[in-house]
Chains A and B, each alone.
Chain A
């Protein structure tokens, strides 16, 4: 079909279409030009890494000679200065914008950050405001020990350096001077302590108060708390539990040879403290009373099983718990096996639990418990979880004196 063969209505239709195409093209052109315009605007205003409003208002902009309120960023300021002026100001006007400085600081070590904070006010402010997201100093070991009677030593070690402070209780009385608190806090400032070791001294209410002040001031994180041979004679159960379970949030707790204690210190509420129930590793061993007798930890079957199966925590990666002498009944292992079979959520449970010095265990026959073997020194039971492919293996080993048994509970995936 040729154009000449078109009839009148077809011609009209073609004309209309051509007109339409022209119109579309012209509107397309205006669209493109307006996009060009808009994208230019977008580029001008673009700020890829905006600081949060609060922080940007706190951090002074690099020498705030703003020409145009829109051009608040260094880059646009520089171009707005014009080329002749640019030459003159180049020397002192090389500074990078705050968001870039922050980005750089994120990749620096704590020592480099310390020096960078001395460069100028702007840098110091950025580092101070954002210290939570910046590197921490790695302290390998922080020790609090009594070196000679009534002299407490605070000592912190990194991989290359060791700083010590001695503090004489005889000279200063119970109250540690603000100066000591300030000095120790400064020593620990913005650090992550791998091991906090408290060893061989009497922990008092005042001392706990001071330590809490130091930890708060210094804003530190702990990986592991080791408390060895510490006396709790002058410390209430509540203060003690708050101290280790709330103020020192660690991944691992290791308490050995705590003396002058009573069962209240290790009551059931300790196992509900934030730090303890989240920890990957908890060991409490050899707690003794003022009369040097063994202290029975005041935790019953229900509390301990809630703790082991992670009823009140959302933490994962809980690996071990090792308790000495808890007040559990002779049906603890049976209760554990039965409860394990029914437990719907094992994500938060502790994989391996060891409990020493418990009463001899009686394990009834039940649908969910399986008896493996029983010889004179050891009996073994297991139960399978209803919902997952895992099994709880319980071992009850007898000690020589026959009075106590040692219980091991292990969750094994099949």
Chain B
């Protein structure tokens, strides 16, 4: 027997355990999914990776929402890193209604949609933020003010006079 201390050199797949706000629901994911969140990626870069499983509690995200986020990221686990559209033509590059992202987000209720966008914003998953905003764009375009208010559950906080004044303003339809 030698006096050297042998270090284990068997390769292991790093797993991450995400715990939702209910403190019960757990999601085990790998690096390909985790790295889509700039926040978690950055966090794990300073983390020692000797454990085969790292637990990350996400008190702010509900189990249902976290499930949706992971479903979205799982779809893109083997894709190239996302490059957000930039420049003046950014608005032209939006995906069609039949794009997977749009279909997926369309299947969510508006509460779920707002939650998933908030979660994406929180975890900084830029692909999901953009997809969410594109979906919201489809929900907003060519709608009347009342419809937009209903969709976004915003109540108009203008005074009657202001409202009247602003309402008369648009020249273009």
Contacts and interface: CB of A to CB of B under 8 A. Distances in A.
A119 B11 CA distance: 56
Contact of A42 (B39, B119, B137, B157): B39
B52 interface: no
Interface string B58-97: 1110000000000000000000000000000011001000
Contact of A46 (B94, B124, B129): B124
A43 B94 contact: no
A135 interface: yes
Contact of B142 (A42, A79, A112, A124): A112
Contacts of A95: 152-154
Interface string B127-166: 0011011101100111111001100111111100001001
A186 interface: yes
Given A3-B1, A103-B129, A103-B133, A116 B148 contact: yes
A314 B30 CA distance: 50
B48 A135 contact: no
A107 B90 contact: yes
A65 interface: no
B143 A115 contact: yes
A78 to B, nearest CB: 8
B35 interface: no
A75 interface: yes
A294 interface: no
Contacts of B142: 112
B90 A106 contact: yes
A39 B91 contact: no
Contacts of A3: 1
A112 B121 contact: no
Nearest to A17: B5
Given A39-B56, A120-B157, A121-B157, A79 B145 contact: no
A107 B91 contact: yes
Interface stretch (A28-36, A304-312, A395-403): A28-36
Contacts of B130: 103
Given A31-B48, A106-B90, A186-B171, A14 B3 contact: yes
Nearest to B114: A94
A31 B121 CA distance: 28
B124 A106 contact: no
B38 interface: yes
Interface size band for B? 35 or more
A163 B117 contact: no
Contacts of A10: 3
B171 A187 contact: yes
Nearest to B167: A118
A161 interface: yes
- With most chain A CB atoms within 10 A of its CB, the pick from B141, B154, B173 is B154
Contacts of A116: 140, 148
A68 interface: no
Interface in A247-265: none
Given A21-B5, A31-B48, A115 B133 contact: no
B2 A1 contact: yes
B60 A75 contact: yes
Contacts of A266: none
B47 interface: yes
Contacts of A122: 154, 157
A108 B137 contact: yes
Nearest to A121: B157
A119 B166 CA distance: 10
A74 B118 contact: yes
Contacts of A109: 91, 141
Interface string B90-108: 1100100000000000000
Contacts of B155: 92, 120
A46 B39 contact: yes
A3 B2 CA distance: 8
A161 B141 contact: no
Interface string A88-124: 0011101111011001101111111011111111111
A108 B153 contact: no
B118 A96 contact: yes
A91 B124 CA distance: 26
B148 A121 contact: no
Contacts of B10: none
B172 interface: yes
B154 A108 contact: no
A2 interface: yes
Nearest to A83: B21
A230 B153 CA distance: 53
A48 interface: yes
17 contacts: A1-B1, A40-B57, A43-B43, A75-B118, A78-B118, A79-B60, A94-B110, A96-B117, A100-B118, A103-B130, A103-B133, A107-B90, A108-B141, A119-B148, A121-B157, A122-B154, A122-B157
Give 9 closest A-B pairs by Cβ, nearest first.
Answer: A48-B124, A104-B133, A118-B145, A39-B43, A107-B137, A79-B60, A94-B153, A103-B133, A104-B136
Given A1-B3, A94-B153, 16 more contacts: A3-B1, A13-B3, A17-B5, A43-B122, A46-B122, A48-B122, A48-B124, A75-B60, A78-B60, A94-B152, A100-B133, A107-B91, A108-B137, A112-B141, A115-B143, A122-B157
